[in-house]
Structure 1
């Protein structure tokens, strides 16, 4: 970490953590790190809060490819993106003192709406019915028409996002070393007239998923990019594919992805 000395601290401005953030400033300065107020000048971006704060930090700093992201938990427990606890300064000091530190890379997905608006997601992209009515989407894998979905919506998750919203709808947990995306249905309608796969499926990172929204009055869907809502009217087509952008985080001993999964769910 010797060539990374400029730190930017991202917080959600919660009053109960500001005192702890001041302690982090002092710790960083003690080990000769430069605290910057502009994230564009940072090569280490630290989120203070929970996984939601980490997702916001990544989005607000535009998925920086030349920066190392680190999450510090304020809840007393570690999580999927928070490798440090705010009260465990010893662990932070050990990481700061290491001249060479391993870096973990998390894949992201790129989403394009109607060939106009594009954005990235670290966890997932979701699209749901905006009214009390089933949602109809023609689903294409590359150029193949795979199915016509009718139901509440769909979730397209990254491997790390597979432990979040995707898991709550019985999607699979996927190793982030696999460059892929996962598609999970929300309350699909399956009967003699309508038929979908009815289970989540995983696509190679070389595939492109295309969702064509059937314009039957549900043309203002509710869309989410990680933990933010996206407001776009008259959506006709959404394209999703694995991005060449990756999020770099600190890789600590005894804190692999699967150790995090075990700690969080077992």
Structure 2
């Protein structure tokens, strides 16, 4: 079996990564950063997001495992003191594959620039570079509302526990193939009105954002943020691809939620 390791980059994570690499190669597993069958993330959720973006072109061939070396990571099953158990599990047992839905984002431009495609594990966000954020929201090719505010967040079910939750969105189990739209500080008064509530769309619905005033926006795709200019529209839908996690021990979704937000 081929494996790769993505480290957070701090001393603790790097030391653990080197130990993990040594143990796994002792079991005759092959370290391969190009075509890994298993990618091990050592750090926090941000590290796993980095690993996902690095290997998003291999989602059908690569499964992910997380070890958290700082605060409890939502995507991480393993603690640093369990590294020997993880190594034996990877080397000696067959894992259970769990798949989570992803978000597909397509950005179209007004000029002749070709559209760009992205995948998000957690969420995509859109904010105005300057001035009030004004955008038309279409659902199933029909105008739903004209939004005014700070921005919008479109999240996956697993990403519903991240920025979406901070915005007051619902937590959605990843067995439900859906996306969620949450508002950032919407403007609601006698003149302007938005729904003022998160929207959950099923897999067969797509959502399109069409700029009304400005054409330049600050776009976030998981942990990556960049400015995109002269945008014509943005399309969001449940992606055809899914992320695959290698489970070597049970850690149900609601147990993850409780461990991340309730347990002391």
Distance 1:101 1:21 in 2: 20
Q: How much does 1:101 deviate?
A: 1.8
Question: Given that residues 66 and 75 in structure 2 are in contact (C-alpha distance below 8 angstroms), is that contact kept between their aligned partners in structure 1?
Answer: yes
For residue 107 of structure 2, what is the aligned residue in structure 1? 113
TM-score relative to the length of structure 2: 0.92
Q: 2:215 aligns with which of 194, 219, 224?
A: 219
Q: How much does 1:30 deviate?
A: 2.7
Distance 1:16 1:253 in 2: 24
For residue 82 of structure 2, what is the aligned residue in structure 1? 88
Is 1:257 the counterpart of 2:253 in the alignment?
Answer: yes
Q: How much does 1:47 deviate?
A: 1.4
Structure-to-structure mapping, 1:1-266, within 5 angstroms = 5-36=1-32, 38-39=33-34, 41-64=35-58, 65-75=60-70, 77-114=71-108, 116-131=115-130, 133-215=131-213, 218-266=214-262
| Distance change >3 Å, CA 260–CA 246, structure 1 → 2 | same
Question: Given that residues 214 and 236 in structure 1 are in contact (C-alpha distance below 8 angstroms), is that contact kept between their aligned partners in structure 2?
Answer: no
Distance 2:12 2:250 in 1: 30
Q: Which runs of 5+ in 2 are unaligned?
A: 110-114
Deviations 1:79-115, CA, capped at 9 Å, x for gaps: 2111112221243135225532211101111101116
Q: More deviation in 56-65 or 254-263? A: 56-65
Q: How much does 1:249 deviate?
A: 0.4
For residue 112 of structure 2, what is the aligned residue in structure 1? none
Question: Given that residues 84 and 91 in structure 1 are in contact (C-alpha distance below 8 angstroms), is that contact kept between their aligned partners in structure 2?
Answer: no
Q: More deviation in 56-65 or 185-194? A: 56-65
Question: Given that residues 160 and 171 in structure 2 are in contact (C-alpha distance below 8 angstroms), is that contact kept between their aligned partners in structure 1?
Answer: yes
TM-score relative to the length of structure 1: 0.91
Q: How much does 1:251 deviate?
A: 2.5
Distance 1:183 1:30 in 2: 47
Query: Aligned-residue CA RMSD in angstroms?
Result: 1.5
Aligned residues: 256
Q: How much does 1:31 deviate?
A: 2.4
Distance 2:66 2:250 in 1: 16
Q: How much does 1:11 deviate?
A: 1.9
Question: Given that residues 63 and 247 in structure 1 are in contact (C-alpha distance below 8 angstroms), is that contact kept between their aligned partners in structure 2?
Answer: no
